[in-house]
Amino acid sequence: MVLTQEKSIAAKIRSEFPILHQEVHGKPLIYFDNAATSQKPLAVLDSWRHYYEKDNANVHRGIHSLSGRATDAYEAARDKLAEFVNAASRKEIVFTRNATEAINLVAYSWGLNNLKSGDEIILSVMEHHSNIVPWQIISQKTGAVIKYVELTETEEFNLEQYKSLLWEKTKLVSVVHVSNTLGCINPVEEIVKLGHENGAKVLIDACQSLPHTKINVQGIGCDWLVGSGHKMCGPTGIGFLYGKEAILTAMEPFLGGGEMIADVFLEKSTYSELPHKFEAGTPAIGEAIALGAAVDYLTKIGMENIHTYEEELTAYLFKQLGEIPNLRIYGPKPSLEGKGRAALAAFNVEGIHASDLSTLLDHEGVAIRSGHHCTQPLHRILGAAGSARASLYFYNTREEIDAFIVALKDTIDFFGTVME
């Protein structure tokens, strides 16, 4: 399957997403909130439904047929994810509720046991709250110090400042691959290499990159990487942690209970081998299986095809937004071909509150985000209480961008008339 601008191909892709074919306030839905969550194709919905209709049973615990089928499908999803990110072993993929839980797993299991007073953690000012708050808690408990990489003049990751922060006291670097507000693509391979040269472990938040481009964890070289299923055509309630096998083996369990044990005695317990050591209790079985179906779906389309098509959409979106007066887009500008940043634009229009923009656009059938996008510290640095954000995915089209621009201009004109 190849993505092009041909309407027949675009129609084929969109026909597989039932939710896109509806009206909102009497207008055709234009869904531009993909950085918050993606929509789900029939293949994913059918997979989830099949599990609950045909195979619903607990995994790893029964010898009856339903349990066997459920276990096989659940573990097959792990294999698919391992291949999708090029993990060295299936043992390196741990299912979690979401990426937030995956980061907390590392923070509590590794951070509490390896960080001490005076050690340093490096984050960036563009991090999502889920990659700030856990480390603040760990800092308070251990005495470790958090330092932040600031922005360049083009509102990107300041690599030179990052280099100046690294030294023997740096024990952890935890940064986002793609900013959900700035849209910048951070140089994670170099970030990891420099971190390792200074003896630090490195975690990458790939929530905004996994759905849009090919990820190779061995190529990146990171110690951990986290992802969220619902942003990559999968269901909510499922995410994953990738970790190097040796590091995960050395880490203590995050949660205790069923599934994660080998033997339990009244005095002590022993733990399962990877990855089950970190998967306490009954997991989100149907959700994991459906995430596996999402991986199959994305793989069939081709991540390279998705990335190339989204670059075209990005170039077109920025060209159209660039023609609107008094509109400020945050983050670096893409090239004329749409390269150099993600397919999202967080912006503000002078004199108009982002939430007001979003509300009126909704009445035109356009779904965008408004608020701080879980990046309050970044918005303070940008001098904005919040921003409006249009974020695209491979099922969006140029025609939708055109309709969005018309609705946005009309909305801006409306506020201009009201304020006169």
Q: Is 374 a catalytic residue?
A: yes
The residue with tokens 């970790």 is 243
The one catalytic residue in 184, 207, 233, 374 is: 374
Residues with a known catalytic role: 374
